[in-house]
A = this chain, B = another copy of it.
Amino acid sequence: MARRNEHSKDELQRLTLKAVKDFLTLYPPQELSLRKVAKLIGYAPATVINSFGSYGELLLAANAEALDELHTLSAVAIRDENNPQLALRKLSRVYLAYARKYPYRWHLAFEHRIPDQKVLPEWQKSRIDRLFALFTEQLSRTGAQRTLQDIHIASRVIWAGVHGICLLAAGGGALQEKHATGEQMLDMFLKNFMGSYMKQEKTYSKLSTEI
């Protein structure tokens, strides 16, 4: 049996990614396998590999879709928000909501490891950068006088904080936080960090000896 030609190459990829996405909405990545994906879409395992190069690259593609989804949700959420601090807050809530609603996809998106020292594709890095950029843009709008480098660092710090908090609030395992909600942690984080961030004028690096 060969050459069924029921789907074009693109259709087959979309079909496969949809199957992966649907699976990861309900079940963790560790329970997925190449052979299960193949069975889900009614093709042979080798066909899936033919289409994506390897199982790992298939996961990477699914990963990219999740990042796109998260980016779109974020962009929409802050579209009409003029106050940059409120926008940052909304951004963080979108992350938390996504991590809660699709823990497995969220988990895969940020924890997927490339097998060895393989260079991971540029389109993947650019997707991460695009997520960071959402924070950078809002920081630029705050009116605080900071260098570009400072804004860059601050955007990473905020992302890191939000990510860590989502890990505690929505990530399974031993890290699960019980006595504090994600919203509480996010609010305390942003309120304190931004409160101090807005007040200083000097670049941060000059203050390295203060503490």
Q: Which residues of A contact B (CB under 8 A)?
A: 28, 30-31, 85-86, 89, 107, 110-116, 120, 124-125, 127-128, 149-150, 152-154, 156-157, 159-165, 167-168, 172-175, 177, 179-180, 184-185, 187-193, 195-197, 204-205, 207-208, 210-211
In Å, the complex CA distance between A205 and B181 comes to: 12
- Asked whether, in the complex, the Cβ of B157 is within 8 Å of the Cβ of A188, the reply is yes
CA gap between A196 and B187 in the complex, in Å: 13
Q: Which of these, B159, B179, B189, contacts A193 with CB under 8 Å?
A: B189
CB contact between A160 and one of B89, B161, B174 (< 8 Å): that residue: B161
Kindly list chain B residues whose C-beta atoms are within 8 Å of the C-beta of A164.
159-164, 167
Would B188 and A153 count as touching, CB distance under 8 A?
Answer: yes
CB <8 Å contact, A175 and B115: no
User: Which residues of chain B have C-beta atoms less than 8 A from A107's C-beta?
Assistant: 113
Shortest Cβ gap from A101 to chain B (Å): 18
Q: Tell me what chain A mostly uses at the interface: helix, strand, loop, or mixed.
A: helix
Given A163-B164, A192-B197: A156 touches B185 (CB 8 Å cut-off): yes
Q: Are B180 and A152 in contact (CB under 8 A)?
A: yes
Task: Give 5 new A-B contacts, CB below 8 A, not counting A30-B115, A192-B193, A195-B196.
Answer: A113-B173, A128-B174, A156-B165, A157-B192, A192-B195
CB distance from A172 to the nearest CB of B (A): 7
Q: Cβ of A191: which chain B residues have Cβ within 8 Å of it?
A: 196, 204, 207, 210-211
Query: In this complex, which of A30, A128, A150, A160 has the most chain B Cβ atoms within 10 angstroms of its Cβ?
Result: A160
Q: Give the nearest-CB partner of A190 in chain B.
A: B211
Bound together, the chains give a CA A30 to CA B59 distance in angstroms of: 15
Question: Which partner residue on chain B sits nearest A27 by CB separation?
Answer: B116
